[in-house]
A and B are shown apart, each in its own frame.
Chain A
């Protein structure tokens, strides 16, 4: 049961990360850099 639970969860972790998160981080990073300029 524990193995099955972990396998199910690992399956979720392995799913490709939506691009929106990578884009969001890049956007936040840029904003922060502009603020500090």
Chain B
């Protein structure tokens, strides 16, 4: 079966989102682009198995996520240590295109456990339904909901914590003035 032009166009149209998801997973533009490239190649080879008329984005996200995880399984230590090596790597190799505005968010997000971060990105950032996110990540809908909730909670705590740190000296000053 050939790849009809409309499907190729849909694939092309899906790439910016796919790439954003890849960057969110890897926090590395080069790795993200390699991942997107591998996803395109794999999707192309398997295109006959794509059921026309179903959600192409979800299908592509699933392929990309599976590739990412099979790659990461080889480097499992990195995943098991999200606050250590992973976070450290983020600081050492800051994203060149990163906006400074999102620095707090990025740092906080890096501290959220991987499975929760992934669920949060799919639902809260990419705007997928819980059902789509569940299909992509291969878990129950309830699990996705719980992961998203935990991620939100953790993120809120982390961002709040950072804010508290920033106003910390003021408290000290206030205490000193009151003394």
Q: A residues touching B (Cβ–Cβ < 8 Å)?
A: 1-2, 4-9, 11-15, 17-18, 20-22, 24-25, 28-29, 32-33, 36
Contacts and interface: CB of A to CB of B under 8 A. Distances in A.
Q: B12, B20, B109: which has the most chain A beta carbons within 10 Å?
A: B20
Given A2-B124, A6-B127, A17-B16, 20 more contacts: A1-B152, A1-B155, A1-B156, A2-B152, A5-B105, A5-B109, A5-B125, A7-B102, A8-B99, A9-B24, A9-B125, A13-B19, A20-B37, A21-B12, A21-B37, A25-B11, A28-B3, A28-B44, A29-B3, A32-B2
B36 A21 contact: yes
A36 B2 contact: yes
Contact of A20 (B11, B33, B99, B152): B33
B23 A12 contact: yes
22 contacts: A1-B159, A2-B152, A4-B102, A5-B124, A5-B125, A6-B124, A8-B99, A9-B20, A9-B125, A9-B126, A11-B99, A11-B102, A13-B17, A14-B16, A18-B33, A21-B15, A22-B12, A24-B37, A25-B8, A29-B8, A32-B3, A32-B44
Contacts, number: 73
